[in-house]
């Protein structure tokens, strides 16, 4: 079943998925996760992908973010800004994830040995390489500090993740996801590991960022309350879109 | 850029990589110390071999050969030759004060010419010193002061050079011997590296035991016994000479310092019946001598004989082979002139060939030990592999994060390879420094072990030298350090490849 309703439709979608199939092979056992998913995401949309645990929502997010590939022989297509993601080389996908996508994970996934600001600057370090980064170090550092100020952590630049609360870590992860100004922000259960109040604040922050930057966001969640705040909800069940 | 940052942080955030660096350090130290000591031993052996023999030797042992003065003259006329000197070498026995008797090698030399070909003047021990030895902090070396006789050391040095000593009663110079400094055991080697005569217990002729200081160049005398042979090599009656001691020498080669005695060439010639003579006064049992041609010796003006002619070249040590060829050519011309009176085919060898067996054995031993230690050092590579393997497992999520942020597989692999190289650099440099400190101070360390722990590892009777080699060759150090840096990188390659090939999604989900 496909998702066809979108209040922000107008022009070509930023992302288009057609009949996407993904199966995990665990030894001799094949576990089908996505069974022909089709959807479209437009620029500036906030799309929530809602489903129970095991419905395939995280797998779909990973495929959208270029972290994984559809099954071979090719089963389904993913297009980003007119480019076939499923046909990109490994290097092109690396670049896509670095420059076009920002990930926010449920468990933050910050590097524990790096400070807050260093975690945020990882994306540009990967993007520009040594010489390029050093040539831009001043301005990149400034961008990182501004982002961290925006998320309320301007005073914690030199702290390590272990010294932060869950909510603070997630805010660092959001800043890290946005440093390279990606067109697409993908969040996998961003509030799943936080208490209700903190989770609400994180969601408010995401909404504010979305408003300020006209950021396209896809948030995977099992929480109906979170999904309600999206422009559009795509409901997944057993690897299929059951409701747009 | 992020690789450098992560390498720095990983290096100091965990104990395991520091242990890997320690392993590299220890292996580097082990290999470099071994190479320096054994390689240094080999270099000392090679270098010292020339100290007492020159570059090339012409030898006809036991019976010797005549007309050596002509041979020396021809050699010294050659552009490749710096100097040549005659020598006789024969086994003998020495009777020392106190009644002790030792087997020795007696060498008959002409002091000044021997000094031109070898480092004889430098190895004479009792001579004036301008400044103390480096370890003689208290300036206790006797050579810095006047002699026990209240005089300067210049006379003692000159006596040694010319193998003479004035008779204390008549003042006339007598032929004298120069002993290896370890021959008598009357000299005690001090921590400062110098010798002092010490006080042995001496049995007097009337059977009593007396304790007195003996300084051989002052008033010591030794009895030397040698066995002359006839031209067929058959021994004849033992020849004995009681000689005053002019000086003592220290070559650094224990075997020589312990077993060699120099006497004046003419003295040994007479003892061995090898001196020049005329038909009116032939030496006993030296009547008719024949060589291959069966020719009779001339009855008049029979030249003296020596067993060796030592040759020093003008070129570098590596030119010895070229010098040998030239000496062979000169000898061929010499033999043609004196056909029938000189050996047609004597042994002509470079200093290296003379000691080939021993040098070869040491070279092989060095190579074998180095090979074994390098094999053992493979442990360091495996250790790094094992540590990094477990670190990659521990950092699986980090790898997933980096890949999610767009890091390439090669970039992720480089994090670990770089990490391995850094551990190699840290361990290698520390190892090189540790090796330098150990090798540079190896002799004081050994001396301390002997004093404090009664452990003597380096026995000069076994290793031929009184001091352990204490220099590190910079090229060797560079090879070892760079080798271990690269080995550390190699050890990290497999874990790095594993990290690079981790699937990002599985890495992120890793528990």
pLDDT in tens, chain B (511 residues): 899 999 888 888 878 888 888 988 998 998 899 888 888 887 777 777 677 888 999 999 878 899 999 999 999 999 999 999 999 999 999 998 778 899 999 999 999 999 999 999 999 999 988 888 877 878 888 888 776 656 678 989 999 999 999 988 888 999 999 999 999 988 888 777 788 876 667 777 888 887 777 788 888 899 999 988 876 777 788 899 999 999 999 987 777 889 999 999 999 999 998 988 876 555 554 333 333 333 344 446 788 999 999 999 987 766 788 999 999 999 999 999 999 889 999 999 998 888 788 778 888 888 888 888 888 778 778 888 888 888 888 888 899 999 999 999 999 999 989 988 998 999 999 999 999 999 999 888 888 887 788 777 766 555 666 678 888 889 989 998 998 898 888 888 888 998 899 888 888 887 6
Q: What is the nearest CA distance from A176 to chain B, expressed in angstroms?
A: 9
State the pLDDT at residue B297: 45
**Is the pLDDT reported for residue A74 higher than 80?**
no
Q: What is the nearest CA distance from B486 to chain A, expressed in angstroms?
A: 23
State the pLDDT at residue B341: 87
| A·B CB contacts under 8 A | 70
State the pLDDT at residue B295: 39
Contact (CB, 8 A) for B391 and B16: yes
In chain A, whose CA is at the least distance from the CA of B400?
A109
* B7 phi and psi angles, rounded to 5 deg: -60, -45
Contact B504 A133 (CB under 8 A): no
Q: What is the nearest CA distance from B407 to chain A, expressed in angstroms?
A: 6
State the pLDDT at residue B288: 39
On chain A, the residues whose CB falls within 8 A of the CB of B503 are 68
On chain B, the residues whose CB falls within 8 A of the CB of A127 are 406
Contact A91 B408 (CB under 8 A): yes
Contact A90 B9 (CB under 8 A): no
Q: Is the sign of the CA dihedral A222, A224, A225, A227 positive or negative?
A: positive
> ipTM of this predicted complex?
0.91
Q: Is the pTM of this model over 0.80?
A: no
Q: What is the nearest CA distance from B6 to chain A, expressed in angstroms?
A: 8
On chain B, the residues whose CB falls within 8 A of the CB of A95 are 406
On chain B, the residues whose CB falls within 8 A of the CB of A110 are 401
Nearest residue, CB atoms, A126 vs list B407, B409, B504 = B407
Cα R_g (chain B), whole angstroms:
32
Contact B5 A118 (CB under 8 A): yes
Alpha-carbon gap, residue A25 to A114, rounded angstroms? 35
Contact A113 B508 (CB under 8 A): no
**Once rounded to an integer, what is the mean pLDDT over residues A33-41?**
91
In chain A, whose CA is at the least distance from the CA of B10?
A113
On chain A, the residues whose CB falls within 8 A of the CB of B6 are 111, 113-114
Contact B405 A97 (CB under 8 A): yes
Residues 6+ apart with CB under 8 A from A69: A63, A86
Name the pLDDT band for A5 (thresholds 50, 70, 90): very low
Alpha-carbon gap, residue B176 to B267, rounded angstroms? 9
**Is the pLDDT reported for residue A67 higher than 70?**
yes
Write a three-state SS string for B44-78. Answer: HHHHHHHHCCCCEEEECCCCCECCHHHHHHHHHCC
Q: What is the nearest CA distance from A46 to chain B, expressed in angstroms?
A: 21
On chain B, the residues whose CB falls within 8 A of the CB of A99 are 406
Nearest residue, CB atoms, B1 vs list A97, A98, A130 = A130
Length of chain A: 244
Q: What is the nearest CA distance from A67 to chain B, expressed in angstroms?
A: 6
pLDDT, one tens digit per residue, over B37-65 is 888 887 777 777 677 888 999 999 878 89
Contact A111 B1 (CB under 8 A): no
Peptide bond into A73 cis (omega under 30): yes
On chain A, the residues whose CB falls within 8 A of the CB of B504 are 67-68
Look at A104-113, A188-197, B92-101, B502-511 and tell me which has the smallest mean pLDDT.
Answer: B502-511
The per-residue b/e assignment along B357-380, b for 16 or more CB within 10 angstroms, e otherwise, is: eebeebbeebeeebeebbeebeeb
């Amino acid at each position: 079943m496909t998702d066809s309703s979108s209040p922000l439709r107008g022009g070509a979608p930023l992302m288009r998925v057609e009949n996407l199939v993904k199966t995990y092979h665990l030894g001799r056992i094949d576990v089908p996760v996505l069974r022909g998913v089709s959807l479209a995401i437009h620029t500036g949309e906030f799309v929530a992908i809602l489903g129970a645990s095991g419905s395939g929502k995280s797998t779909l997010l990973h495929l959208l973010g270029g972290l994984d590939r559809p099954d071979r022989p090719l089963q389904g297509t993913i297009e980003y800004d007119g480019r076939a993601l499923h046909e990109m080389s490994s290097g092109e996908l690396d670049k896509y994830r670095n420059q076009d996508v920002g990930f926010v994970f449920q468990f933050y996934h910050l590097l524990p040995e790096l400070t807050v600001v260093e975690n945020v600057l990882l994306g540009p370090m990967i993007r520009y390489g040594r010489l390029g980064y050093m040539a831009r170090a001043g301005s990149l550092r400034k961008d990182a500090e501004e982002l961290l100020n925006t998320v309320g952590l301007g005073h914690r630049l030199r702290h390590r993740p272990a010294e932060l609360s869950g909510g603070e870590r997630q805010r660092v992860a959001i800043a890290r996801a946005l440093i390279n100004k990606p067109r697409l922000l993908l969040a996998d259960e961003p509030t799943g590991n936080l208490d209700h109040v903190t989770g609400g604040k994180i969601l408010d922050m995401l909404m504010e960022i979305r408003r300020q930057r006209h950021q396209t966001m896809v948030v995977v969640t099992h929480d109906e309350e979170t999904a309600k705040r999206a422009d559009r909800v795509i409901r997944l069940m057993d690897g299929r879109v059951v409701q747009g | 850029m992020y690789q450098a940052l992560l390498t720095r942080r990983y290096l100091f955030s965990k104990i395991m990589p520091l242990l890997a660096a320690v392993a590299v350090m220890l292996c580097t130290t082990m290999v470099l110390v071994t190479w320096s000591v054994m390689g240094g031993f080999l270099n000392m052996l090679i270098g010292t071999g020339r100290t007492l023999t020159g570059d090339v030797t012409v030898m006809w042992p036991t019976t010797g050969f005549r007309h050596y003065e002509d041979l020396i003259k021809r050699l010294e006329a050659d552009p490749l030759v710096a100097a040549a000197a005659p020598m006789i070498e024969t086994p003998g026995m020495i009777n020392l004060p106190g009644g002790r008797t030792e087997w020795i090698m007696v060498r008959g030399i002409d002091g000044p010419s021997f000094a031109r070909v070898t480092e004889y003047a430098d190895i004479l021990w009792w001579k004036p010193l301008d400044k103390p030895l480096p370890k003689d902090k208290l300036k206790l070396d006797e050579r810095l002061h006047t002699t026990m006789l209240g005089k300067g050391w210049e006379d003692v040095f000159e006596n040694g050079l010319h193998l003479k000593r004035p008779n204390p009663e008549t003042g006339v110079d007598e032929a004298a011997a120069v002993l290896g400094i370890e021959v008598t055991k009357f000299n005690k080697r001090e921590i400062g590296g110098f010798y002092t005569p010490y006080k042995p217990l001496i049995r007097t002729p009337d059977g009593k035991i007396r304790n007195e200081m003996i300084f051989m160049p002052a008033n010591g005398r030794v009895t030397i016994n040698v066995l002359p042979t006839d031209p067929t090599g058959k021994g004849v009656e033992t020849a004995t000479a009681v000689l005053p001691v002019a000086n003592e020498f220290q070559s650094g080669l224990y075997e020589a310092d312990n077993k060699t005695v120099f006497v004046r060439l003419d003295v040994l010639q007479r003892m061995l019946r090898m001196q020049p003579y005329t038909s009116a006064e032939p030496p006993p049992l030296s009547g008719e001598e024949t060589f291959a041609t069966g020719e009779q010796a001339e009855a008049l003006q029979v030249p003296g004989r020596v067993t060796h002619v030592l040759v020093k070249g003008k070129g570098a040590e590596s030119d010895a082979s070229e010098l040998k060829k030239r000496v062979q050519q000169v000898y061929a011309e010499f033999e043609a002139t004196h056909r029938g009176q000189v050996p047609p085919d004597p042994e002509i060898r470079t200093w290296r060939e003379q000691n080939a067996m021993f040098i070869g054995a040491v070279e092989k031993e060095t190579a074998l030990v180095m090979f074994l230690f390098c094999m053992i050092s493979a442990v360091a590579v495996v250790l790094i592999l094992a540590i990094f393997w477990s670190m990659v497992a521990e950092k699986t999520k980090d790898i997933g994060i980096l890949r999610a942020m767009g890091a390439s597989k090669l970039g992720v692999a480089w994090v670990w390879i770089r990490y391995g190289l850094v551990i190699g650099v840290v361990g290698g440099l520390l190892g090189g420094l540790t090796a330098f400190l150990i090798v540079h101070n190896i002799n004081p360390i050994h001396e301390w072990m002997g004093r404090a722990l009664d452990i003597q590892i380096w026995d000069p009777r076994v290793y031929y030298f009184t001091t352990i080699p204490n220099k590190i060759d910079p090229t060797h150090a560079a090879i070892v350090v760079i080798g271990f840096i690269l080995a550390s990188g190699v050890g990290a390659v497999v874990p790095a490849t594993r990290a690079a090939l981790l699937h990002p999604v599985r890495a992120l989900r890793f528990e």
